[in-house]
Structure 1
Amino acid sequence: MDHRQDATGSTAHRVRSVLGAVVLAGLTFATWWSWLGSDTTYQVDPVTGNRTGPYEPWQVAGCVLCLVVLAVAGTMIRLHRWVVVVVMSVVFTVAWSAAAISADRSGLWGVGALMVAIGMVAGSYAVVWGADTARTALARRQR
């Protein structure tokens, strides 16, 4: 019987990784829905007639901040870097794409989805790399 508490390859580690990935996926979807997914209203400037939206800058900033917190949390509970990056990127991009397909009349939702996917991969990897580096440095100092 393996008595190592969190050894990679142990049953406990695999279960924690799967549960962590499932929770991360759910929270990533909830972040998209609460900040962006539930808002489909475009704003029309009464003077110029320009149509903008559906998202306001504060919504995007709040969404990004929550995604940063999720990426750091996923790293701190020791999910593998690529698990965090892939789960968050796929879930967010699929959620965004599903909404974009239904609202798009131009046929350009795919371009937007590609940009969202690239941004999610790059952004989440940068945050995860930074959090993992900080966590490792802290662990070395505590030894």
Structure 2
Amino acid sequence: MVTKRGLRFQVAAAVLVAALSALAWFGWLGWDTEYQFDAATNSYSGPYEIWQVVGCGLSLVILLVGALLAGTREVAAAAALTVGFTVAWTIGAARTDQTGLFAVGAVMVFLGLAAASGLIAAIMFGIRDRRSPGAG
């Protein structure tokens, strides 16, 4: 495991994580704005397909774990991922929503990502802490 690095590295890593998480949204979800109509159930779904959401989620997990393994501090990496993705999602949702409900969705995306990235960061911290010299 890589030890914690200096302030410049931490800032650069956080900016990179935020940018890459925003790119994950654009790459997996940002281009799809069409809803699908199912005649059998007489309902609409979408705009995202399940494979897009799963791919995006896996990309975010890989990004976060990679940043943590590279030595980014847990709080910085989790916060950067959460903010970067939420900002990208909110910009995209605001462009297509005419009701103003995108703001509720933005809060939900933020809280969900904060919880998930915080949990992953805590798990990685626990693994790193147990493997560090003198632990246990």
- Relative to the length of structure 2, the TM-score reads 0.88
Q: Tell me what 2:18 maps to.
A: 25
* Structure 1 residues 65-97: Cα deviation after superposition (integer angstroms, max 9, x where no partner): 111111111211221221112111111111101
Which of 14, 35, 38 aligns to 2:28? It is: 35
Q: Higher RCO, 1 or 2 (CA under 8 Å, sep at least 6)?
A: 2
1:63-102 to 2 correspondences below 5 Å: 63-102=56-95
Aligned to 2:118, which of 96, 106, 125?
A: 125
Paired position in structure 2 for 1:139: 132
TM-score, normalization by structure 1: 0.84
SS across alignment from 2:132: helix
Stretches of structure 1 that go unaligned for 5 or more consecutive residues are 1-5
Could you tell me which amino acid in structure 1 is paired with residue 51 of structure 2? W
The 1-side partners of 2:87 and 2:15 are apart by 15
How far off is 1:23 after superposition? 1.6
Q: Across the two proteins, how many residue pairs are aligned to each other?
A: 133
Mind listing any 5+ residue stretches in structure 2 that lack a counterpart? none
Per-residue CA deviation, residues 12-70 of structure 1 (Å, 9 max, x unaligned), is: x1221122112212211111111111111211113344111111112111111111111
Deviates more, 1:120-129 or 1:80-89: 80-89
Question: Do the aligned partners of 2:29 and 2:48 also contact (CA within 8 Å) in 1?
Answer: yes
What is the CA RMSD across the aligned residues, in angstroms? 2.0
| Residue identity opposite 2:88 in structure 1 | A
- Structure 1 residue ranges, 4+ long, deviating more than 4 angstroms after superposition: none
- Structure index of larger Rg: 1
Sequence identity percentage: 36
Cα distance between partner residues in 2 of 1:44 and 1:17:
46
